[in-house]
A and B are shown apart, each in its own frame.
Chain A
Amino acid sequence: MKFSNFIRKIRNLCPPDCHVCEEACAKKMGEMGPVIKANQIHESDVYKAITCLQCSEPECKDACPVDAIRKDEESGIVRVIAEACVGCESCIETCPYGNMLFSSNAKRAFKCDLCDGEPTCVAACPYKALEFFKGGNIQTYLGEDDFLSPGTRACAGCPGELVYRLTQRVLGKNTVFFGCPGCMTILMTGYETKAGSKLSYVSCLFTNVISTMTGISRYYHHIGKEANLVAFVGDGCLADIEFQALSAAAERREKMLVICYDNEGYQNTGNQMSSTTAFGARTTTSPVGGELRGKNHDSKYMPLIMVSHNTSYVATASPAYLEDYARKLTKAMNVKNGLSYIHVLIPCPTGWGFPMDKAIHISKLAVETNYFPLWEYEQGKLNLTHEISIRQPIGDYLKLMSRYRHLHEDELQQLQSFVDKRFARINSLASRTMENCNT
């Protein structure tokens, strides 16, 4: 079984001399000693594991000469069987993360065992800065094949490529993709007689993706042929120039899956503004200079608009929550009676201005600030699929990108207010079901 659960830091709130987590662990572990160190946690980044990752294929287990290390199939916990351990320290040397520890008292190895599923440190932290993260089993969604050839290009650090590749692997061979000029086109289309993607692809104009798909969907229905028909196109296409066509296709219940990769602008052509660009963001057509302060109005919220369209299935998704995305993708593709729509936030290192290794981190923050809440809508019900106990302030997200570098405090507050109001609306819809409509 390929998954891992572990403890991770989710908030940067540790006061310098707080050791509550370490003390709680020490108390629980007894003579062996704590498996976590408070000062290491203080220095750690958010979303990083603070102790053993409970690896899906533990190297420590392979290194142990006496089979004293076992991974529990159900819980995923990697345990040292105390009686069997001979204290050779092979596991300690092998662990790439330094999460296997040696007790000089007991003369044997020990490690975090997640307190058998109810981690003490998480419960003890007065700031709720730690989280028991359940890694899930993304691998079970993926087919064996990778349908992108080596050498197929995208910007360094682009999470769109990650999402596209995953989409192909989840949906499989019987899929026809549709796209148009945009960032992902390079992945999807070919040049002359060669192509980087091994799946069927129909290249369209910026303006006729949805209508072309409709024609094929209807023709396939006419001849009794079944295939996954999937658009993988940007906010520029779906929120702007093709919004009319998308709206109509949803209203007509055309059978297709439409995935919007939202990088909040026309990124392929160099970061021009789109209707999903957020308030205050700098783009080439919402510049900063003199009186101009970036985009001067709020973005429109595509996924909620699609809910109002007879759309059979609507969801938001994030590159940082791939299992959530894979699950939604599978659901969306199984819809038989109309259009499915998934809106994926794709942070863009090139256009948004952040280092190429930060896309996943920014994706997580987008969700954890409620800027981009994860939810799905089906059969009249809207449900959050990832609930956050305490939302992070939007400033933590904005300060990581140069496109917001110019923001004044009042502009930041305006954006915070927009985020809070938008989330409140989603949240209120989420708590209301068809049954409760009349109350």
Chain B
Amino acid sequence: MSNHRSSSEIKVLDGNRAAAYGAMLCQPDVIAAYPITPQSEVVETLFDFKAQGLLNGELIEPESEHSSMGILRGASVAGGRTFTATAAQGLLFMFENCIHVATQRLPIVMVNVCREVAGPHIVVCGHSDIMMVKEMGWIQLHAQSCQEILDLILMAYRLAEDRQIRTPAVACYDGWYLSHLWEPVEIPAREAVEQFLPRLETRPQVDPETPMVFGPWISGWTGTEYRYKQSAAISQAKAKFDEIDQEFREIFGRGYGGQIEEYRTDDADIVLIAMGSSASTAKVAIDKKRDEGLRAGLIRIRMFRPFPRERLVAVLQQKRAIGVIDRSVCFGWDCGNLFLELKAGLYNSAVNAPLLNFICGLCGIDVTTEIIERAVDDVSRAAQGDAYTEVIWPDLE
């Protein structure tokens, strides 16, 4: 373990402020961000850092999220490190530009504070925003604590800027449950961050001295090659995420397990799968069920894109039933998004246990320990061979 921890400091921060610290530690060259609830404090804190002289880069509040991502595109094409933050409607407004920068392999990092997309027009937590854009070609990561938010941003830059990957990355955390939750957060020393995250090196792409057309028209064959390479590149992020988790542990003294966190899964008969803040609630319920004699475990998905198929298949071997907690709906499939993806991931694997889906925590409803305990019970009965309903909406019962 390195000595750098001694020059770090601990502050009590909410998730938004932790994100701002994470970004500040990476010293982006250009930040362009538009405020939107529940993310506004990220932007405000960054501007405050600028006023305090803690941020050297350019900091812009543009007139929209679409322009925010466009600005980052320009700065990134020219070789700069960039950062933004958004949520819900803002994420959707910048969607076109998000796709554009992914196809152009720009190592942009942003934070999404998960919030239900309208309608109805309620400003609350949900995963519908980040699920709507899962195909945009970005690496997608999810945090469970304020500490992890800060750490995830550092890791996101490492992944995005990796020469074999060069793909933009979004670090997500639940609106309100994490964005506005105050926890102690260790802010690493600048030197430790620089050890983990080297300077961004790019070749000149916008330089009158070596004039180039960036983004010309291309043939269908070249375009197909672009798609193929982009697909191969994002998939590299899986193994790399596991690798840098180890490195992170060595430098900063904490790790999270890489693509997935395995909680009491080794000897579990049944496993729940969750993502985001609900996973920490779920752990409490899992512990309680364990105390009651049930061998239950939890997988927390940290990397949703690329989908951690191999790690999931490995952990889910021999499990007798599996429950997926979804905070979103996949319309047209009658289930949640995580459930759908898991099913696809398990096809042609040795895992053929019953899969149950619990769609809950939508529209700002809490995911309580009671709901998780009930999910464990349902999954447990399915493991014993009882008939079960595949997709359950606990909040409507």
Contacts and interface: CB of A to CB of B under 8 A. Distances in A.
Interface of A: 173-176, 188-192, 195, 197-205, 207-208, 210-223, 227, 244-245, 247-248, 251-252
A208 B66 contact: yes
B216 A190 contact: yes
**CB-based closest 7 A-B pairs:** A215-B74, A211-B70, A248-B63, A190-B216, A208-B70, A215-B75, A203-B215
Contacts of A192: 216-219, 222
Contacts of B58: 218-219, 221-222
B216 A202 contact: no
Nearest to B80: A219
Interface stretch (B41-49, B206-214, B231-239, B278-286): B206-214
Nearest to A188: B213
12 contacts: A189-B217, A195-B216, A198-B211, A201-B212, A203-B216, A211-B67, A212-B70, A212-B74, A214-B70, A215-B76, A216-B206, A244-B64
A207 B98 CA distance: 13
Contacts of B214: 201-203
B274 to A, nearest CB: 36
B213 to A, nearest CB: 4
A197 B211 CA distance: 9
Given A176-B206, A200-B208, A205-B97, A214 B71 contact: yes
B150 interface: no
A207 to B, nearest CB: 7
Contacts of A198: 211
B79 A219 contact: yes
B60 A218 contact: yes
A202 B30 CA distance: 18
A323 B171 CA distance: 53
B74 to A, nearest CB: 2
B206 A218 contact: no
Nearest to A218: B58
A421 to B, nearest CB: 31
A189 B67 contact: no
B350 interface: no
Nearest to A206: B96
Contacts of A214: 32, 60, 62, 67, 70-71, 74
B251 interface: no
A248 B213 contact: no
Contacts of B215: 189, 202-204
Contacts of A219: 29-30, 58, 74-75, 78-80
A212 B71 contact: yes
A222 B30 CA distance: 8
Contact of B30 (A173, A176, A215, A252): A215
A221 B68 CA distance: 17
Contacts of A207: 66, 70, 96-97
B78 A191 contact: no
A297 B323 CA distance: 60
B23 interface: no
Contact of B73 (A174, A212, A248, A252): A212
A190 B217 CA distance: 6
A222 to B, nearest CB: 5
A252 B82 CA distance: 19
B57 interface: yes
A219 B97 CA distance: 18
From B57, B58, B77, B216, name the one whose CB has the most chain A CB atoms within 10 angstroms: B216
Nearest to A251: B63
B100 interface: yes
A190 B215 CA distance: 8
Interface in B178-208: 206-208
Nearest to A201: B213
Contacts of A244: 63-64, 67
Contact of B213 (A197, A217, A221): A197
B72 interface: yes
Interface string B89-132: 00000001100100000000000000000000000000000000
A81 to B, nearest CB: 50
A218 B30 contact: yes
From B32, B68, B80, B206, name the one whose CB has the most chain A CB atoms within 10 angstroms: B206
Contacts of A199: 208, 211
A191 B216 contact: yes
A195 B213 contact: yes
Contacts of A202: 74, 77, 206, 214-215
A216 B77 contact: yes
Interface string B10-27: 000000000000000000
Contacts of A205: 96-97, 100
B29 A222 contact: yes
B217 A211 contact: no
B288 to A, nearest CB: 50
A200 B30 contact: no
Contact of B211 (A191, A200, A203, A210): A200
Contacts of B72: 215
Nearest to B222: A192
A244 B60 CA distance: 16
Contacts of B60: 214, 218, 252
A198 to B, nearest CB: 6
Contact of B218 (A191, A211, A222): A191
A146 B213 CA distance: 17
A27 B302 CA distance: 96
B208 A215 contact: no
A279 B73 CA distance: 38
A191 B219 CA distance: 8
A218 B73 contact: no
Given A176-B206, A214-B70, A247-B63, A208 B100 contact: yes
Contacts of B219: 191-192
A66 to B, nearest CB: 51
A188 B211 CA distance: 12
From B56, B63, B96, B211, name the one whose CB has the most chain A CB atoms within 10 angstroms: B211
Nearest to B216: A190
A189 B207 CA distance: 16
Contacts of B77: 202, 212, 215-216
Contacts of A175: 208
From B30, B58, B75, B78, name the one whose CB has the most chain A CB atoms within 10 angstroms: B78
Contacts of A176: 206, 208
A192 B226 CA distance: 12
From B74, B208, B211, name the one whose CB has the most chain A CB atoms within 10 angstroms: B74
A187 to B, nearest CB: 11
Nearest to B56: A222
Nearest to B32: A215
Contacts of B62: 211, 214, 245, 248, 252
